[in-house]
Amino acid sequence: MPSTQVNPTRMELTRLKRKLVTARRGHKLLKDKRDELMRRFLELVKENKELRKKVEKGIAEANKNFALAEAVMSGEAVKTALLAPKQSVSVEASSKNVMSVNVPVFDYKTRTADRSDIFSYGFASTSADLDAAVSSLAEVFPDMLRLAEVEKSCALMAAEIEKTRRRVNALEHVMIPDYMEKIHYISMKLDENERSTQIRLLKVKDMMIQKNFEAKHKNDA
Amino acid sequence: MYKMAAIGDRASVYGFAALGLDTYFVTAADEAKKLMRRLADGDYAVIYITEQLAELIKDELADLSEAQLPAVIPIPGVYGNTGMGMRAVNESVIKAVGSDIV
């Protein structure tokens, strides 16, 4: 039984058939979209994990160096040395369209032309450990930016995949079977109507023949 | 043009100032929430946040994860790696695939 009442008319049948065709096409397209998104997502996730491992290791290393620097110099001296940063980064964020998901692409620019121009202090009053710490942090920085890009893309794509998967499932398991059932119901009903019309005609014809026959009989008699 | 920021406890993020990131020192959850909202509305494209702090304001970050910008990236702080960043990646895999396969 169809879940909602449908009018068993020919017009409704054509309308439903057209809807079914659209639903089938949509289902196929969405399925393709899901598969391709999934493929790209899995590639990206692999990169994401590797990058994250690398960045986490790099940051841990840098933190170690900073701790070392702070052990040699006073904490205050380290803070003052980094108080007035020489460098500043700005990010150019554009977006890339991956299967209708807009993922960000970051490109960073530094204020001074030399990207390694990061030491905001005189070398006389600071220990070499601080230099090592700052440069080790600078080393992981490009990876950190790439990580930001990849991780954000992964999160956005995951959300889109989830949405697409739901749509595919809804079409496959609810919409399409529902349409098919309705179409079946209508065509059965129409066939039934046709048969009953046919029978009625036959009956009427029989009755007419009978009447004719009887009339003729009476005339003859 | 967008800016970048690092937020967390002082010891974990002060080094990023040398690279030219804006650093904010926060440790309390409600303070972090306010700051996060302010930064998200401002012109920040990438915000690095220590895992400890990210754990405290999880709900706020979940709201931001749907938007295209900013990208909020958890990083380990000086007090060690809590594994939260990796877990977040795995969570997105589960969300997309339905189970943790990679």
Domain residue limits, chain B: 3-97
CATH of the domain at A110: 1.10.287.3240
B28 interfaces chain A, CB cutoff of 8 Å: no
Can you tell me whether residue A125 is helix, strand or coil?
Answer: coil
A152 CB neighbours in chain B (<8 A) are 68, 71, 73
Using a 10 angstrom Cβ sphere, with 0-12 exposed, 13-18 middle and 19 or more buried, the burial of residue B7 is buried
pLDDT lower than 50: segments of chain B: none
pTM comes to 0.80
B29 by Cβ neighbours in 10 Å (0-12 / 13-18 / 19+) ranks as middle
Inter-chain residue contact A59 with B4, CB threshold 8 Å: no
Task: For A64-110, write each residue's pLDDT tens digit.
Answer: 888 888 787 777 777 777 766 667 778 888 888 888 888 888 887 77
Contacts of B65 in chain A (CB under 8 A): 155, 159
Percent of chain B as helix, strand, coil, to the nearest 5? 45, 25, 30
Segments forming the whole domain that contains residue A119: 10-182
Would you state the pLDDT for residue A137? 82
> Within 10 A of B63 (CB to CB), how many other CB atoms are there?
12
Specify the amino acid at residue A161: I
Cβ within 8 Å, pair A45-B89 = yes
Structurally, how many domains does chain A consist of?
1
Q: Is residue A192 part of a domain?
A: no
Mutate to test the interface with A, among B13, B16, B19 (most CBs of A within 10 A): B19
Phi, psi for B72 (deg, rounded to 5): -100, 115
Q: What are phi and psi of A91, to 5 degrees?
A: -110, 135
pLDDT at A13 over 60: yes
Chain A residues whose CB is inside 8 A of the B12 CB are 63
Q: CB distance B18–A82 less than 8 Å?
A: yes
DSSP tag of A4 = S
Are A60 and B66 inside 8 Å of each other by CB?
Answer: no
Minimal-distance CA residue of chain A relative to B2: A91
Task: Look up the ipTM and state it.
Answer: 0.86
Task: Report the distance separating Cα A153 and Cα A191, nearest Å.
Answer: 54
The count of other CB atoms within 10 Å of the CB of residue B66 is 9
Each residue of A116-146: b (16+ CB within 10 Å) or e?
Answer: eebbbbeeeebbebbbbbbebbbebbebbbb
CATH of domain B3-97: 3.40.50.10580
Instruction: Name the token pair of B82.
Output: 């809590």
Q: What are phi and psi of A99, to 5 degrees?
A: 50, 50
- B18 chain-A contacts, CB cut-off 8 A: 82, 85, 87, 118-120, 134, 137-138
